[in-house]
Amino acid sequence: MPPPTFRDATPEDVPALVALVTSAYRGDASRRGWTTEADLLDGERIDPGVLLADIARPRSRILVVEGADGLLACAHVSDDRGAGYFGMFSVRPDLQGSGLGKQLLAEAERVVRQDWALPAMRMTVIDVRDTLIAFYQRRGYRRTGVFKPFPYGDARFGIPLRDDLRFEVLEKAL
């Protein structure tokens, strides 16, 4: 696979972004990759209105990698109270494990470090996602021990299939 070319998402990308993010995390299609949340959550993974707001907000970028057949990967990065925030990290399930995600994460870190001159990157991960947390730890992120509640009752974030979900904040100095 040639090195990816990154660009910022536009409002026209929203339907393709919803489809990409959903394919990486929800339903049977997501089970082809290792990032699936299908056993934890059902329903939508991302709300189109949230995407449009993230695209329009200052110091907020949705990075995308596009291929001949559409979007291959995406991630949201923003300035969150003086640190970068990384989220919505999605790679098409058939491309997971190809190295594309690592390259996208590195580009997001570059944006935060070089373009915005922020000292750290943070993210929240469902704390029972041990394999995903280990992926980030191998890339220098550390568990902070700071937890945030899962937004039960807000269908924009999915329909929980368990009652023990919460987020843990991971952080990396840049």
pLDDT digits (tens, 9 = 90+) for 117-139: 999 999 999 999 999 999 999 99
- Burial call 76-89: b when 16+ CB within 10 Å, e when fewer: bbbbbeebbbbbbb
Q: In 3D, which of 147, 174, 7 has the Cα closest to residue 83?
A: 174
Residue 108 in domain: yes
For residue range 161-172, list pLDDT tens digits in order.
Answer: 999 999 999 999
Q: Which domain holds residue 42?
A: 6-173
Q: How far apart are CA 100 and CA 103, in angstroms?
A: 5
Residue 58: CATH number of its domain: 3.40.630.30
Beta strands in 31-138 (DSSP E): 41-42, 60-67, 70-80, 83-91, 120-126
Q: Name the one residue in this structure whose structure tokens are 């041990």.
A: 130
Q: How far apart are CA 141 and CA 58, in angstroms?
A: 25
Residue 110 in domain: yes
Structure tokens at 86: 């990384």
Residue 59 in domain: yes
Tell me how far apart the 2 most distant CA atoms of the chain are, in Å: 42
Q: Integer distance in angstroms from the first to the last C-alpha of the chain?
A: 27
Residue 16 in domain: yes
Residue 114 in domain: yes
Residue 24 in domain: yes
Say what the pTM is.
Answer: 0.93
Distances (CA, A) of 84 to 1, 32, 53, 110: 28, 30, 17, 10
Domain count, the chain: 1
pLDDT of 1 over the 70 cut: no
Q: Taking the alpha carbons of 151, 40, 148, 83 in that order, is the dihedral positive or negative?
A: negative
Residue 1 in domain: no
Question: Which pLDDT band holds residue 27 (cuts at 50, 70, 90)?
Answer: confident
Residue 149 in domain: yes
